């Protein structure tokens, strides 16, 4: 009984720190699934045993402190860029010891090249991680800049309540503005890109996607400082459109990643 309570507490702590929170991650997964090619979706559903992407969109956050996942998935929730928003291999190696989301995605693309030769559980684990990592690329509190850590753990007030900017970006912003929405309703609202727009934002692979997200957020990096009180005019009015743009990009890039890996 005690072990069960400890496990539950660990899971709750992990989820409280989730990038985009449950609402954002499941929305991204839902939009992505809508854009899977029919044959790719069928292959993925074989490995997930019928579970939808949204069903395990928070997997990496739920196991972040649980052996044996803790060490194996260490660092994959964030990536770093230099002051010019370049996510070079050298900066990933020197600062994060290559324990980052971009490197993980590059490795997954290689390791899954012959995915049919791998056992089903290995492929399913990879799918769960990919679903989460691509979403994390676009959460501002998970983008690291060489000249500023940007982990967002400094105390602030959000509508007069004490919190951190990390928690605001992860959960409070989008969930607070859509309190009665389901993730499928939010997906309906945000799944609006044209085929031309989708093609534009899915160019390249993980490195290019993360650099794009870092460039999007860079102009806003210093708008929030420790001890600030954030509200509608000085935060929500610019932050919500930015967050929704990032959720859209993550959704289509996730679909592209899965469509590419499981093309045949």
Tokens coding 168: 């605001």
The residues that bridge with 156 in the sheet, in sequence order, are 163
Tokens coding 36: 């899977």
**74/66 Cα distance (integer angstroms):** 11
Question: What pLDDT score was predicted for residue 153?
Answer: 86
Over residues 223-230, the mean pLDDT reads 92
Over residues 164-185, the mean pLDDT reads 95
Has residue 39 got a pLDDT over 90?
Answer: yes
**211/74 Cα distance (integer angstroms):** 21
Please write the tens of the pLDDT for every residue from 107-117: 999 999 999 99
The mean pLDDT of the chain is: 92
**256/195 Cα distance (integer angstroms):** 12
Q: Based on C-alpha coordinates, what's the Rg of the chain?
A: 18
pTM of the predicted model as reported, rounded to 2 decimal places:
0.92
Question: What pLDDT score was predicted for residue 179?
Answer: 94
Has residue 97 got a pLDDT over 80?
Answer: yes
Has residue 237 got a pLDDT over 60?
Answer: yes
Q: Which of 6-20, 143-157, 185-199, 214-228 has the highest mean pLDDT?
A: 185-199
The two most distant CA atoms of the chain are separated, in Å, by: 54
| Confidence category of residue 15, pLDDT binned at 50, 70, 90 | very low
CA distances in angstroms from 244 to 144, 174, 216, listed in the order given: 19, 8, 12
**Residue 154 CA to chain centroid, in angstroms?**
21
Question: What pLDDT score was predicted for residue 18?
Answer: 56
| Confidence category of residue 152, pLDDT binned at 50, 70, 90 | confident
Over residues 28-34, the mean pLDDT reads 98
Give the number of other Cβ atoms within 10 Å of residue 110's Cβ: 9
Has residue 11 got a pLDDT over 50?
Answer: no
**Which one, of 51, 64, 53, 52, lies nearest residue 19 by Cα?**
64
Q: Which CATH number fits domain 2-261: 1.10.575.10, 3.40.50.300, 3.20.20.70, 1.20.970.10?
A: 1.10.575.10
DSSP-derived secondary structure for 162-203: EEEHHHIIIIIHHHHTTTT--HHHHHHHH----HHHHHHHTS
**Beta pairing, strands 155-158 & 143-145:** unpaired
Has residue 251 got a pLDDT over 90?
Answer: yes
**Residue 229 CA to chain centroid, in angstroms?**
26
């Amino acid at each position: 009984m005690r072990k069960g309570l400890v496990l539950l507490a660990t899971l709750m702590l992990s989820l409280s720190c989730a990038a985009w929170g449950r609402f954002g991650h499941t929305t991204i997964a839902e939009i992505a699934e809508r854009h899977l090619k029919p044959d790719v979706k069928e292959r993925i559903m074989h490995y997930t045993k019928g579970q939808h992407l949204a069903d395990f969109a928070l997997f990496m956050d739920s196991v972040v402190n649980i052996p044996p996942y803790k060490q194996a998935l260490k660092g994959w929730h964030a990536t770093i860029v230099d002051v010019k928003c370049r996510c070079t291999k050298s900066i990933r190696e020197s600062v994060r010891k290559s324990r980052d989301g971009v490197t993980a995605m590059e490795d997954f693309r290689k390791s899954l090249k012959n995915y049919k030769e791998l056992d089903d559980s290995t492929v399913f684990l990879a799918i769960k991680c990919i679903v989460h990592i691509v979403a994390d690329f676009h959460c501002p509190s998970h983008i690291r800049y060489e000249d500023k850590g940007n982990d967002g753990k400094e105390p602030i007030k959000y509508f007069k309540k004490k919190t951190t900017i990390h928690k605001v970006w992860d959960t409070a912003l989008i969930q607070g503005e859509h309190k009665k929405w389901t993730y499928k309703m939010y997906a309906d609202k945000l799944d609006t890109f044209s085929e031309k727009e989708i093609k534009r934002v899915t160019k390249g692979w993980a490195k290019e996607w993360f650099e794009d997200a870092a460039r999007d957020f860079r102009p806003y990096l210093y708008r929030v400082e420790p001890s600030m009180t954030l509200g509608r005019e000085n935060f929500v009015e610019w932050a919500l459109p930015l967050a929704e743009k990032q959720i859209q990009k993550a959704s289509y890039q996730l679909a592209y990643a899965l469509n590419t890996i499981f093309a045949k």
